[in-house]
Amino acid sequence: MRFEDLNLSAKTLKSVSDLGYEEPTEVQAKAIPKIISGTNLIVRSQTGTGKTAAFGIGLIERIAAGTTSKALVLVPTRELALQVCEELRRLGLPHGLNVRAAFGGQKLEFQIRDLQRSYDILVATPGRLLDLCERGTVYLSKFNAVVLDEADHMLDIGFRWDVFKILDGLPPERLTLLFSATVDTEIREIASMYLPDSELIEVGEMRTVSSIKEERIDVPHAQKVAKLLETIKLHPGVKTLIFARTRRGVMRLKRRLEEENIPHIGMLHGDMEQPKRTRMIHRFKTDEIRVLVATNVAARGLHIDDVGLIINYDEAEDMRTHLHRAGRTGRMGAEGKVITFVSDDAPPPRQYGGQRRGQSYGSGSYSHGSGRSRSYGGHGGSWHGPGGSHGSRHSDSGSHGSGHGGSYGSGSSESSGQESPGYGGSGHRRGGRRHSRPKKPAWHRGHHRQR
Ligand code: AMP
C-alpha cells in the first residue's frame, strides 16, 4: 500500500514525503480512509505504530475538505501534547493549518493569548482545557471532531471525569476517534456511551517478535549500582534509558553515574520545570545526552526512535507501566533490549496502598529466570492481571500482551515520592478545589484503582 492509494490531497502527500514517510503503517492504512469518510473509530494501537499521523492525516484531510471545521486532540501528558502538536504542525504545513497546544505547566496567560488567535486543531491535556473553557478562552461547542489519544492512560491517571465533562460539552454531531493501547471493558463502555456506531480497528505492533529482547537479572539491593555500571559499560554507545521509581532515586543515580565518569548523562522527572524537561528530551533526541535516568514520566509517549536499551533499575509497579517503559525501545521495528533488575531484598517502598514489590506483575506468566533473554511480540499475552500468585521470574510461558482488563492501579503517589507520568494540566483538581464528580456509572463500581 502507498500513500497515493489512500486518496490523499497533493498537499498531504507532500507533507508525508517531506517527513520521510515512504508508506503508510498498518494503522494509517486502516484508519485514514475511515476517518476521511467520517466513521467514529476505536483504534487499538500502541505508540510507535504511527497512530499520531493516522489521526493527524485523517483530520487534516477533513479540515482541508471542509468536513471538519475545528478538531480537538486530548492527550494525557504535556510531553505527548508537545510531540503530537509538532507532528500535526508538520503534517498540516502545506495546507497552512494552525495547530496549537494547551497543557499544564505552561503560563496560562501565554496560552490564553495564543488561543485568542485562530487555529484549526487544538492539542490539549484535559485539566488545562477545562481551565481554559471556564475562563471563556475555548468553546467546546466549536469542535466537531475529537481524538482521545492514549485513552487508557488518560483514564489511569485520573482524567476520567474531566474527559467525560469535555465530551459532554462537545456538539453531539461530531466525529469521535478513540486511540488506546488496550481495549478493555472500561474503554468499551466509554465507547458505548460516547462513540455511537463506531468501528473497531486493531493493529499489531510495529516491532517484530524478535525486535525487543527482555532480560531479568537478580541483583541484591546493595549491588544494584555496581550492576548498573557494568550493564552500561557492556553496551557502549547504545542510547540508554534508565528507569528509577522516585525523583530522589533518579537524582541519586545520576549523581552516582557522574561520579563514575559515565559521559553524556541527563535526567528527567516530574519536579523539573516544563522547559527544562522539554530541553532534556531534545538533548536526548539529538544525542547530546546518551544515558537518560528517568521516572515513569518518560514511560509514555516519548517519540525517540533510537533508544537501544532500557534498564529498569527499579521494577515497574504494574504490567501496563512495564509495557510502556519497554515501548520506548524497539520503535518502528528497530532492535531493542529491556533489562530489569530484580532485588528480592529491596526495602519495601513507603506505603501507598499498593502491591508489594515483586508481586506487581500478578500471576507470573510473563517473565522468566534471571540471565535468560526472550522476545515478546506484542498483544494477546498471557498476563492475568493482579491478584495472582507471584514468583513470576520462574515461569517462562511466552509472550506478554498489552495488559488487558485488569483493574491494576497506576502506582502513583506524591507522598511516596513516586510519580505517574507527568500529565499536564492540574488533573481532576483544578483551581485548588476538586470539582464535584458526577455519579459513577455502573462500570466504575468495583474498580479500585490506586492513586
Ligand atoms: P506514533 O505511533 O505516533 O508514536 O509514531 C511513532 C513514530 O513513527 C513517529 O516518530 C513518527 O514520526 C513515525 N512515523 C509515523 N508514520 C510513519 C510512516 N508512515 N513511516 C515512517 N515513520 C512513521
CATH of the domain at 239: 3.40.50.300
In this predicted structure, the answer to whether residue 199 has a pLDDT above a threshold of 60 is yes
Nearest atom within ligand 1 for CA of residue 52: 3
Domain boundary (286, 316, 347) is at 347
Does residue 20 belong to any structural domain of this protein? yes
In this predicted structure, the answer to whether residue 161 has a pLDDT above a threshold of 60 is yes
- Angle subtended by helix axes 274-285 and 78-92, to nearest 10: 60
What is the per-residue pLDDT for 135? 92
Q: Which of 25, 27, 207 to mutate to test the pocket of ligand 1 (most atoms within 8 A of CB)?
A: 25
One domain for residues 228 and 83:
no
- What does the alpha-carbon distance between residue 273 and residue 278 come to, in Å, rounded to a whole number? 9
One domain for residues 198 and 238:
no
Decide if 322 contacts 296 (C-beta within 8 A). no
pLDDT 10s digits, 430-442: 333 333 333 333 3
| Among candidate residues 249, 312, 334, 256, the one with its CA nearest the CA of residue 48 | 334
Band the pLDDT of 187: cuts 50, 70, 90.
confident
Nearest atom within ligand 1 for CA of residue 303: 10
Mean pLDDT of the chain: 76
What is the per-residue pLDDT for 333? 59
In this predicted structure, the answer to whether residue 402 has a pLDDT above a threshold of 80 is no
Which has more pLDDT, 68 or 347? Answer: 68
Tally Cβ neighbours within 10 Å of residue 25: 21
* CA 90 to ligand 1 center in whole angstroms: 12
In DSSP terms, which residues pair with 337 in a beta bridge?
213, 309
Domain boundary (322, 347, 372) is at 347
| Among candidate residues 15, 20, 21, the one with its CA nearest the CA of residue 94 | 15
* CA 48 to ligand 1 center in whole angstroms: 6
One domain for residues 102 and 171:
yes
Which has more pLDDT, 156 or 307? Answer: 307
**Ligand 1 pocket, Cβ-based, cut-off 6 angstroms:** 21, 24-25, 28, 47-53, 303, 305, 332
Domain boundary (347, 365, 397) is at 347
Q: Which of 15, 52, 80 to mutate to test the pocket of ligand 1 (most atoms within 8 A of CB)?
A: 52
* CA 217 to ligand 1 center in whole angstroms: 32
One domain for residues 67 and 191:
yes
One domain for residues 266 and 286:
yes
What is the per-residue pLDDT for 319? 67
Q: What domain range is 279 assigned to?
A: 212-347
What is the per-residue pLDDT for 336? 83
Q: How many domains does the chain have?
A: 2
Q: Residue with C-alpha cell 486518496? A: 7
In this predicted structure, the answer to whether residue 23 has a pLDDT above a threshold of 70 is yes
One domain for residues 273 and 225:
yes
What is the per-residue pLDDT for 6? 95
One domain for residues 224 and 278:
yes
What is the per-residue pLDDT for 205? 53
Nearest atom within ligand 1 for CA of residue 301: 4
Does residue 431 belong to any structural domain of this protein? no
Which has more pLDDT, 279 or 157? Answer: 279
- What does the alpha-carbon distance between residue 96 and residue 89 come to, in Å, rounded to a whole number? 9
Does residue 81 belong to any structural domain of this protein? yes
User: Stretch 394-410: mean pLDDT, rounded?
Assistant: 29
What is the per-residue pLDDT for 347? 67
Give 5's DSSP letter: G
Does residue 216 belong to any structural domain of this protein? yes
Band the pLDDT of 207: cuts 50, 70, 90.
very low
User: Stretch 38-66: mean pLDDT, rounded?
Assistant: 93
Does residue 296 belong to any structural domain of this protein? yes
Which has more pLDDT, 360 or 128? Answer: 128
One domain for residues 168 and 191:
yes
Among protein residues, the one whose CA lies closest to atom 21 of ligand 1 = 21
What is the per-residue pLDDT for 78? 86
One domain for residues 231 and 86:
no
Model-level pTM?
Answer: 0.57
Collapsing DSSP to helix, strand or coil, 440 comes out as coil
What is the per-residue pLDDT for 301? 58
pLDDT 10s digits, 223-235: 999 999 999 999 9
Q: Residue with C-alpha cell 454531531? A: 173
What is the per-residue pLDDT for 52? 94
In this predicted structure, the answer to whether residue 329 has a pLDDT above a threshold of 50 is yes
Band the pLDDT of 331: cuts 50, 70, 90.
low
One domain for residues 110 and 227:
no
One domain for residues 21 and 162:
yes
- What does the alpha-carbon distance between residue 214 and residue 295 come to, in Å, rounded to a whole number? 20
Q: Which of 5, 15, 19 to mutate to test the pocket of ligand 1 (most atoms within 8 A of CB)?
A: 19
Q: Provide the pairing of β-strand 429-430 with 433-434.
A: antiparallel
User: Stretch 281-285: mean pLDDT, rounded?
Assistant: 89
- Give CA torsion, residues 384, 388, 393, 395, to 10 deg: -60
In this predicted structure, the answer to whether residue 139 has a pLDDT above a threshold of 70 is yes
Q: Which helix (H) or strand (E) holds 31?
A: helix 26-36
Cα 119 to the chain's mean position, in Å?
A: 25
